[in-house]
Structure 1
Amino acid sequence: MRWRWCAGSVVHLLRCVLLRVCPRRRGCRLPVWMLKTEAYLKLLLHSLFYNILTDSDVVFDSVFEPLLWSVDYVTRWFGLVFVWMVVVLTTSILLVAYIVLLPNALRTYPTAWLVWHLCYGHWNLVMIVFHYYKAVKTAPGYPPSSGENDVPFVSVCKKCVIPKPARTHHCGICNRCILKMDHHCPWLNNCVGHLNHRYFFSFCVFMTLGCVYCSLNGRIRFLAAYKALERFKHLEMEKPGVPVTGMGPLIGLLPTGQVLTNHTQYFCLCSFTDSAFFVFVFKTDYVTPAPPYSFKEKIMDKSIIYMWVLTSTVAVVLGALTTWHALLISRGETSIERHTNAKEKSRMQKMGQVYKNPFNHGKLHNWKVFLGVEKRSHWVTRVLLPSAHSPLGDGLTWDSFPVKKEPIAV
């Protein structure tokens, strides 16, 4: 009984201390907004450790979510600007080709060579316009929601909270899951996925070929225009009224619109005095009138330089990107799968195992699957000509090889 009384006294004493220390128990509550803020911060802190699967990636996404959201929003808005830049720059190159280069070609090229240029140039232009339009306007492909169909999936998207089929990834800019996502292209203002991957790659190929074609054919005109502009700048630096050799009173002043040549001329000046006879000989360059350089020629030369510099730069940069994507297609993987496959290969090598990409069917068959080639004639009708055919497969299942064997006679 005595022990129970002592325990009761201690509990009573603790209650009195708590009542004095904690203002809530005495009726002095904190403001409501402070209580809500405290509860929200506690919930936010606990959300970072909501289960045992939480790792550094989840914490990073949660902390930097506002920054990532801002970047995605700006990229989504600038996508329209990039699309218009492609249209404007391509149109400017076409204007230079039709207004400056084509008239010169009609006057100087032989008939057979001119026909080849006209056919190839317009075929390349049609392929560029067609594939860029289809790449921009075609949806990349989206997985169905969980309530629509029973689709085989490999994971669940933590942002969309829907089942994700194989090769499907979430795009933060589009804010949706994309079937066989490769990347989000700001120059298309669209994701590159299962349904428009072929359009994107074909556009890169034909745009690179077009830039190389313009760069090679405009090289001679570029050199001539560059020399003409340099000569014109030299003329602008020569001010009227300044003698060429500093002997203005003897040989005259340089008139406007004249340049120096390689010819030389000697001037003699005789002087008589009471006791001697002097002869002074001056050497100077022969002055010839310069050909006129009109404003129209100046604009045409500058436009040729602009076209050559732009097409050469795009040919190098876009050619490197196209080569990289061609290597990925040959391996049967996308840009995202390139990184995931490299990590998986390294992980399995540490375990003494060999990793094999399940979507790699060999280089030739990978290209057939990508381009939708099912028979030999498709290499012309579906690859070398504009074609809006759908890709092989539905983008949801990737178990079987979708290309049939070629028949003996086509």
Structure 2
Amino acid sequence: MRSRRRMYSAVMRFFLKCLRLGQRRRFWLTRQVEQLWLYGRLCLRSLLYNSFADGDTALDALFEPIYWLVDHVTRWFGVVFVALVITLTSSVVVIVYVCLIPLILQTYPIAWVFWHIIYGHWNLVMIVFHYYMAITTQPGYPPQQSKSDVAAVSICRKCIAPKPARTHHCSICNRCVLKMDHHCPWLNNCVGHFNHRYFFSFMLFMTMGCIYSSVSGWDMFWEAYAAIETYSQTPPPTFSFRQRAFHKSVVYAWVLCSSVALALGALMLWHSVLITRGETSIERHINRKERKRLQWKGKVFRNPYSYGPLGNWKVFLGVERHRHWVTRVLLPSTHPPYGSGLSWDTAPCVAEQKTPLLAI
């Protein structure tokens, strides 16, 4: 009897020992699995970790396929956009020469005739000149190899080359651009250091020309529109084919000029604000984030490339003497911008730099 009890107790002890061993082994396996899971998650997070990541970075990642599509569409349709600008502008010029100038010569006083002829042709020359220079002038590219005069601030991760200050990579041109503002599909070219002035001058004079055409053709537009409204009357009016073409051409030109004046005028005003602040379109977003970051730290952001409103305009337009406001702004001029775009020193046309070079 005692031997049975001893045997039974020995079996129970062995069974409990095996049970404890199994529990320990399961616990050990569970612990190993948890450690492997934590280690794998840590590795994955270390690969994707970025201290500069925020909501904008996530949105950029989500919209990356759309950006890729827009880049390729813009690259291939740039020539179409340029042809569209030339075609629309030429159509308005042809309507003015064929329809409006003969009417002006017959009905307007001699003083108004001289005003329209002189101002209209000056505005047309400025538009054609600056648009041609904007699409044919390269915006400026940094050298592929480092040079002693290149103050590189970083390395472009796409070009794998030194990137000077104010230089950004254009995904459409697939290369870095000096003082890049944006890639303009209507120019089929980037707007950068060497053609930024041509781009803005084109917008300015195109807006001025469209406003001039809309204001001076207001009465003609309403007369032509009223005539077109009578086409559906019974009996129809006895307008010849030439008269109908004249009415429709005047309405078309006025609507086109007014639409361009509103759209392009708004864009021109926006770039005027950027130039006054000494910024480009890209730097506007960068400086805004930097201003918020320094404000959170109790500091004040200073734009290192701003010389004050008047100084910024002088540097941008290349005005070094008083006569340059006429010879370089109001007349066609091919003078290059100040500096090479590789380094940014104080321009000679600015007496003293208005802001320090670093944020305080």
Q: TM-score range by the shorter chain?
A: 0.7 to 0.9
CA contact (8 A) 1:331 1:360 kept: yes
Sequence identity percentage: 58
Partner secondary structure for residue 154 of structure 1: strand
Structure 1 residue 364 corresponds to structure 2 residue 293: no
Q: Counterparts of 1:123 and 1:107 in 2: how far apart (Å)?
A: 22
CA contact (8 A) 1:204 1:318 kept: yes
Write 1 or 2 for the structure with the bigger share of strand. 1
Q: In structure 2, what residue type is equivalent to 1:90?
A: T
CA contact (8 A) 2:82 2:188 kept: yes
Task: Structure 2: state its 5+ residue gaps.
Answer: 1-42, 353-360
Change (3 A) 1:77 1:380: same
Change (3 A) 1:52 1:297: closer
Change (3 A) 1:63 1:158: farther
TM-fit CA distance, 1:175 = 0.6
Q: Counterparts of 2:181 and 2:277 in 1: how far apart (Å)?
A: 14
TM-score (norm: length of structure 2): 0.80
What is the aligned partner in structure 1 of residue 349 from structure 2? 403
Give deviations 1:25-53, integer Å, cap 9, x for gaps: xxxxxxxxxxxxxxxxxxxx98x928877
What is the aligned partner in structure 2 of residue 131 from structure 1? 130
Q: Counterparts of 2:225 and 2:84 in 1: how far apart (Å)?
A: 26
TM-fit CA distance, 1:110 = 1.1
Change (3 A) 1:398 1:111: same
Q: Counterparts of 1:185 and 1:93 in 2: how far apart (Å)?
A: 23
Say what the alpha-carbon RMSD is for the aligned residues. Answer: 2.4
Structure 1 residue 382 corresponds to structure 2 residue 341: no
Q: Counterparts of 2:281 and 2:342 in 1: how far apart (Å)?
A: 18
Give deviations 1:100-142, integer Å, cap 9, x for gaps: 1011001001111101110000000000000000000000011
Write 1 or 2 for the structure with the bigger share of helix. 2
What is the aligned partner in structure 1 of residue 5 from structure 2? none
Change (3 A) 1:304 1:162: same
What is the aligned partner in structure 1 of residue 239 from structure 2? 293
TM-fit CA distance, 1:147 = 4.3
TM-fit CA distance, 1:145 = 1.3
CA contact (8 A) 1:331 1:363 kept: yes
What is the aligned partner in structure 1 of residue 117 from structure 2? 118
Partner secondary structure for residue 209 of structure 1: helix
Task: Structure 1: state its 5+ residue gaps.
Answer: 1-44, 236-255, 258-289
Structure 1 residue 82 corresponds to structure 2 residue 81: yes
User: How many equivalent residue pairs?
Assistant: 309
Q: Counterparts of 2:310 and 2:58 in 1: how far apart (Å)?
A: 43
TM-fit CA distance, 1:67 = 5.0
CA contact (8 A) 2:221 2:251 kept: yes
What is the aligned partner in structure 2 of residue 223 from structure 1? 222
Give deviations 1:123-176, integer Å, cap 9, x for gaps: 000000000000000000111112455511111111111111111111100111
Q: In structure 1, what residue type is equivalent to 2:116?
A: H
What is the aligned partner in structure 2 of residue 49 from structure 1? 47
Q: In structure 2, what residue type is equivalent to 1:169?
A: H
Q: Counterparts of 1:222 and 1:112 in 2: how far apart (Å)?
A: 22
Give deviations 1:170-206, integer Å, cap 9, x for gaps: 1100111111111111000111000000000000000
Partner secondary structure for residue 233 of structure 2: helix
What is the aligned partner in structure 2 of residue 268 from structure 1? none
Partner secondary structure for residue 47 of structure 2: coil
TM-score (norm: length of structure 1): 0.71
Change (3 A) 1:159 1:51: farther
Change (3 A) 1:400 1:119: same
TM-fit CA distance, 1:59 = 8.1
Change (3 A) 1:324 1:137: same
Q: Counterparts of 1:363 and 1:388 in 2: how far apart (Å)?
A: 23
CA contact (8 A) 1:393 1:402 kept: no
